[in-house]
């Protein structure tokens, strides 16, 4: 098969029959003289045809491969048929997952430090559901496990790779921005900002 | 737990009564919520007011019998500490280290960092999630077990889990008490008949009438043998063996249900009950205390003979 003329129907069949995303490696095994970088345009062509003919699914590029996925407007009917399929992620799980995704590899203690709460139960769930795995151990006292995300994470969140994660906002921008507009005194030793009424001290006493 | 209050609803000054129930993901989440509700900057937190609201919220949680986790109390202490540092003139002894640094800087940095990841979590949740918004063909369930990966569990986690399981065992249950399984001759006869009936008229090899595997205790085997003899006696079953040319019995012993004028169910039951009564009388004699059994030296004590 010449490099230019990839058989779109054959490629579609291969992706359709693949369990999990069809990897570039498996596609290359089937189409020997495929020009580098020619899979994505070919998939785009297939997707264009699927859209034209009003098919309820398309090929998504996820976790380093290509996979047929239904369009979001059919979520309701699919879940109606099998409600237990629905992926449920708590706020805590999402926050923890975001931390692991962007900061990996990192230890549970580091996650707890960043979130300010214990993450044991959440971490257990994420490990069990294969969104997070132990990727190594830090060479430090206690040899804490280092956590990272899995292919299942990329697949669930529709990411091609970790580099596909949306860029994080700069922490600095959150801290510095107000100083630019609001003329905050850098020494900042004034007890209170203006519009605030003084807090009654009795509240603190309860916690001493 | 209800959904979050909108920013307009919770404004400064109406704190405790204006705060609606909201599931916070920890002290940083609560603080961030208060900061946003009050429309103040992370870098310039009005510590006194925010800590007042923070404590009011903790109070609310307590009044509703929600466990206030230690993490929340630690943050309350941190807030109180920052507040006191801001009220006091800078300590000349530590002036060298963090000269002029805002006591709130560290908290501001943590809050900002947390806010970044909270937003990132929101962004992740807004994506089109597999098995929520979009769906791929479900893998064949029969192939799933093979895909199970190797568990990344440390030895200590396993030991811990084992201890947890052992801890749940009541002391009484920790000793396994061996008790002899009791089966009557009657039950055994019914079992033998059942085995033959299951074979639907075909003959069974003699050996196949006996319990196998874990059930095959000496007692059960002896009982099965007795059962076969008892059942043969009432002609509920027939026992065969081939004969060689010179009339010598040869080959496997086979057993099948009797046909024709074979005893019916009720007769077998009655015979079994009768055999049982006779048999258990004999067993009872054997089980009388040792002193009484000594005049019968050929009889083994208890059930050990089996």
Q: What percent of chain B has pLDDT over 90?
A: 18
CA distances from B96 to B91, B101, B102 (A): 10, 11, 14
CB B199 within 8 A of CB B214: no
Q: Which two tokens stand for residue B195?
A: 């085995």
Q: B124 and A169: CB-CB below 8 Å?
A: no
- Is A207 in CB contact (< 8 Å) with chain B? yes
CB B60 within 8 A of CB B31: no
CB A123 within 8 A of CB A108: yes
Q: Which two tokens stand for residue B20?
A: 């609606």
Q: What is the pLDDT of residue A141?
A: 87
Q: B90 and A188: CB-CB below 8 Å?
A: no
Q: B112 and A158: CB-CB below 8 Å?
A: no
Query: Least CA distance to A68: which residue of chain B?
Result: B136
- Is B152 in CB contact (< 8 Å) with chain A? yes
Distance CA B131, CA B145 (A): 20
Cα B210 → chain centroid: 35
Computed on alpha carbons and rounded to an integer, the radius of gyration of chain A in Å comes to 25
pLDDT tier at B8, thresholds 50, 70, 90 = very low
3-state secondary structure of A83: helix
CB contacts of B133 in chain A (<8 Å) are 72, 75
Q: Does pLDDT of A34 surpass 50? A: yes
Of B15-29, B58-72, B163-177, the poorest mean pLDDT is in B15-29
Tell me the β-bridge partners of A127.
Answer: none
Q: Does pLDDT of B291 surpass 50? A: no
What's the average model confidence in pLDDT over A100-106? Answer: 93
Q: What is the pLDDT of residue B282?
A: 60
**pLDDT tens digits for range B98-140:** 556 788 888 999 999 999 999 999 999 999 999 999 999 887 6
Q: What percent of chain A has pLDDT over 90?
A: 53
Q: Which two tokens stand for residue B87?
A: 């009220």
CA angle A163, A168, A172 (to 5 degrees): 140
- Is A201 in CB contact (< 8 Å) with chain B? no
Q: B135 and A19: CB-CB below 8 Å?
A: no
CA angle B241, B245, B246 (to 5 degrees): 95
CA angle A15, A20, A21 (to 5 degrees): 55
Residues whose CB is less than 8 angstroms from the CB of residue B219 and which lie 6 or more positions away in sequence, other chains included:
B180, B181, B183, B303, B306
**pLDDT tens digits for range B47-98:** 999 999 999 988 888 887 777 778 889 999 999 999 988 888 766 666 555 5
Distance CA A188, CA B41 (A): 13
Q: What is the pLDDT of residue B11?
A: 42
Closest among A43, A94, A88 to A69, alpha carbons compared = A43
Q: A204 and B28: CB-CB below 8 Å?
A: no
Of A9-18, B139-148, B238-247, the poorest mean pLDDT is in B139-148
**A168: nearest CB among B59, B116, B136:** B116
**A175: nearest CB among B29, B42, B124:** B42
Distance CA B58, CA B66 (A): 9
ipTM confidence: 0.77
Q: B46 and A70: CB-CB below 8 Å?
A: no
Cα B65 → chain centroid: 29
Q: A117 and B40: CB-CB below 8 Å?
A: no
Closest among B145, B143, B135, B147 to A82, alpha carbons compared = B135
- Is A171 in CB contact (< 8 Å) with chain B? yes
**Mean pLDDT over the full length of chain B:** 74
A96/chain B closest Cα distance in angstroms: 8
Residues whose CB is less than 8 angstroms from the CB of residue A143 and which lie 6 or more positions away in sequence, other chains included:
A137
């Amino acid at each position: 098969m010449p490099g230019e003329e990839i058989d779109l129907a054959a490629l579609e069949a291969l992706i359709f029959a693949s369990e999990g995303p069809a990897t570039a490696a498996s596609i290359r095994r089937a189409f020997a003289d495929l020009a580098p970088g020619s899979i994505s345009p070919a998939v785009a062509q297939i997707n264009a045809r699927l859209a034209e003919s009003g098919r309820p699914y398309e090929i998504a590029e996820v976790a380093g491969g290509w996979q047929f996925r239904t369009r979001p407007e059919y979520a309701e009917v699919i879940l109606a048929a099998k409600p237990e399929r629905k992926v449920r992620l708590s706020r805590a799980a999402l926050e923890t997952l975001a931390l692991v995704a962007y900061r990996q590899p990192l230890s549970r203690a580091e996650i707890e430090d960043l979130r300010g709460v214990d993450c044991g139960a959440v971490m257990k769930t994420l490990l069990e559901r294969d969104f997070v795995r132990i990727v190594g151990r830090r060479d430090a006292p206690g040899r804490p496990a280092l956590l990272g995300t899995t292919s299942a994470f990329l697949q669930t969140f529709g990411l091609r790779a970790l580099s596909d994660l949306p860029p994080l906002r700069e922490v600095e921008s959150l801290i510095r921005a107000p100083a630019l507009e609001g003329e905050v005194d850098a020494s900042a030793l004034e007890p209170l900002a203006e519009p605030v009424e003084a807090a009654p001290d009795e509240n603190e006493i309860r916690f001493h | 737990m209800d959904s979050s209050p909108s920013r307009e609803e919770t404004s400064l000054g109406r704190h405790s009564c204006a705060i609606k129930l909201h599931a916070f993901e920890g002290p940083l989440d609560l603080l961030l919520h208060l900061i946003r509700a009050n429309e103040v900057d992370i870098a310039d937190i009005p510590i006194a007011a925010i800590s007042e609201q923070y404590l009011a919220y903790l109070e609310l949680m307590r009044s509703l019998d929600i466990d206030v986790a230690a993490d929340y109390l630690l943050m309350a202490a941190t807030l109180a500490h920052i507040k006191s540092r801001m009220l006091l003139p800078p300590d000349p002894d530590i002036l060298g280290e963090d000269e002029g640094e805002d006591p709130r800087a560290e908290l501001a940095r943590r809050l900002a960092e947390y806010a970044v990841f909270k937003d990132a979590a929101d962004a992740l949740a807004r994506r089109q999630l597999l098995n929520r918004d979009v769906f791929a063909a479900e893998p064949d369930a029969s192939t799933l077990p093979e895909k199970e990966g190797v568990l990344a569990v440390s030895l200590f986690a396993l030991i811990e889990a084992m201890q947890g399981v052992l801890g749940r065992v009541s002391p009484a249950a920790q000793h396994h008490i061996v008790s002899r399984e009791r089966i009557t001759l009657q039950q055994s006869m019914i079992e033998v008949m059942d085995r033959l009936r299951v074979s639907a008229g075909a003959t069974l090899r003699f050996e196949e009438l006996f319990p196998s595997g874990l059930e095959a205790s000496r007692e059960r085997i002896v009982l099965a043998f007795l059962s076969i003899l008892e059942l043969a006696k009432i002609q509920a079953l027939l026992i065969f063996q081939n004969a060689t040319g010179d009339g010598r019995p040869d080959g496997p012993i086979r057993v099948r249900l009797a046909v024709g004028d074979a005893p019916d169910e009720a007769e077998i039951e009655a015979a079994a009950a009768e055999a049982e009564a006779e048999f258990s009388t004999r067993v009872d004699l054997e089980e009388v205390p040792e002193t009484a059994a000594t005049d019968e030296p050929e009889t083994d004590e208890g059930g050990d003979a089996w």
